[in-house]
Structure 1
Amino acid sequence: MAHVRTYNPRVRVGNWKEDVTLEEENLQNFILQKDRGELTVQKEGALRQDILQPVSLSVSQDGFLHFGDTIMLVNSGGGEHDPCVLSIIADSSNIASHSQTNPVPHLLGPLQVGGSHSMTPCVRNAFIITSVDGTSDGELLRYDQSFALRTTAGFAGELFLASDHRTFLKCAKKSRLQELSLVEEFDFLCWWKVIYFDPQERLENEGYPVQVNSKVLISHCKTNQCLAALGNHILWTLFGKEYELTAHTFLDSHKAERDNNHWLFFTAHPANQNESLMQMQLAETVITDEPRENQEDTHVKECS
C-alpha cells in the first residue's frame, strides 16, 4: 500500500542534519534582523510613520503665494476624475540610513510622484516654493516667473520636482508620456512657472501675483508641457491606489487646457493651521475661483 506512511515524523532520513542546521540558521537570521529592525514589514512601517508625519502649511495673510511657502499642490479634478494631491511615492529601498552630509534617515532620489486622494498635509504631499533666480523668501510669486518645487527638509530629503523630454527608455510608466520625478541635483530640469488659467486673459495677468486657492497651470520651463493628472491611469503603491502624474498639455476643441492640467496651490487655513483650505472646502463641498477683478483690487490695495 503506497499511501501508508512507513515512518513517523521523528524518523531522520536523507540529509536531516543539514536541514536542521539550515532551519536553525534561518531562525537566527530572522531574529537578528528583527532586533535590528531590518525586516521588510518593519521598514515599511517605519516609512509610513515618517512620511505621513503631519506638516504645518504656510498661512497666506494677503491671499498670495510667496517664495518659501509650504503648500500642497492639488489637481482640481472635474468630470474626468476626483481631486488629487501631488505626493511622493517611495518604499523601503529609497531610504538612506545615514550619509556624510545627512546622518538622519532620509529619502534618496530619484523618486516617483503620484496623485494621492488624501488631503491631509504631511511630509508626503508638502512642497516648498523655491527660488531659482535668487529671489528672497517672502517675495511674491508671479505669473510666468520661474520657480522650483522642493520637498521639506528632514526625512523628505529636500528633493526637487523635475522632468525632461520623454525617450524610449525614460517615460511615464503607464501612459508613456513625459515622466515626472524627484531628484537630488538641482538644475534647469527643475524649473517651472505658473500660467494664468484663462487663455483669453493670460497676457494681461503676466507679472501679477499668484493667488492661493485659484486654478492655474504649472508649465515646465524646458519642455513647455503642463503638469497633469491622469485619472484613467492607476498606480498601485504602498499607500493604495493613486493617479499617475505626468508633464503633458491636454487641449480641448477650443485649444484650452483641460481639467487634467488645472492645479491649485493650497495653504493652511488662517483659523486652523493644522487644516488645509482644501479640507475646509471639501467639508463645505464648495470650490470657487476668485474673479480677476477681485484679484486686481487686492493687488492694488497691497501696492498702495
Structure 2
Amino acid sequence: MTHHSPDIRVEDVSWSAGGRRILDQVSCTAPAGRVTGLIGPNGSGKTSLLSTIARLESPDSGRVLLGDIASTAMHRREFARTVALVEQHSATELDLTVEQIVELGAIPHRGGWARPAALGTGELVTDCLETAGITDLRHRLWQSLSGGEKQKTQLARAFAQRPCVLLLDEPTNHLDVSASLELLELIRARGLTTVAAMHDLNLAAMYCDHLVVLCDGRVTAEGPTESVLTADLLAEVYGLDALVQPHPRTGRPLVVLCGTATETAERAAP
C-alpha cells in the first residue's frame, strides 16, 4: 500500500446478523482525499458499513478495496497503519491517561505490540494532542473525561496511527455546536480519505464532499453533496418535509426542516 490516501470501493457487500440482513448488496465509493458522509435513518446500516470497511465485521459476500488492494489481503499491521477508526462509544477498563491512550495509536509503527507503559512519549504524541486541542488533558485519566473530551482523545489516537484512511462513527455525537465545527474542520484539514457516519444533515452538508445515503441496508443515493442532498431525497428516506437551498454565505446545501411529510400533509388537508 502506498502512503497516499487511496479511494475506498465497496463492491456488492452483504452482511447479516441474528438472521437479519443488515447490509444488502452495498456498492459505493469514497473518493481519495475527500470527506464522504454516510447518512440515513437509524438502523439503515451506517455503523455496520463502517465496521465492514474497518474489518471489524467480515461480509457474507462482496469485498472492500483500498485503492486496488482488497482490504482482506493486507497484513493486520499494514492495515492498522493505513486505516484508523474512531468509534461512537469507546470504553476502557484500564486506568490510562490521555497521553497513554494517544500513544496506543503509534503501536502499528513500532517493532512490537508493546504495553502502553513501555511506549515512550515523543513528538508524534505531542503533535497529535496539540492538533486535537487537548494538550491540557495530557495527564488526565480516561475515566475523568467528559464525552466530548473522550471523543477528541480518540481522534488524537487515530491521528497517531498516521493513517491514510479515517473512519468515524458519529464524530460529533458528544460535542456542542462550536466543538463540532472545530472537530470537522480539523478532520477536513488532514486531507485523508475520510468516511463519517453522521446524523446532522447540515453538518454533513457543510463538511462532506460526497454523500452515501443508506436506507434499509441499501444505497439509496450516492454522489457529490450538492447533487444528493435534495428535498425529494429527504422526503423519501426520512419522511421529512424540508427545504434545501444554497447557504447564503457558502453556497453549500442548507436544510430547513418544516416537519414530517405526514404532519405537512395533515396541515394542508381541508
TM-score if structure 2 supplies the norm length?
0.25
Which structure's CA Rg is the greater one?
A: 1
Tell me which protein shows more helix as a share of its residues: 2
Greater RCO between the two (CA within 8 Å, min separation 6)? 2
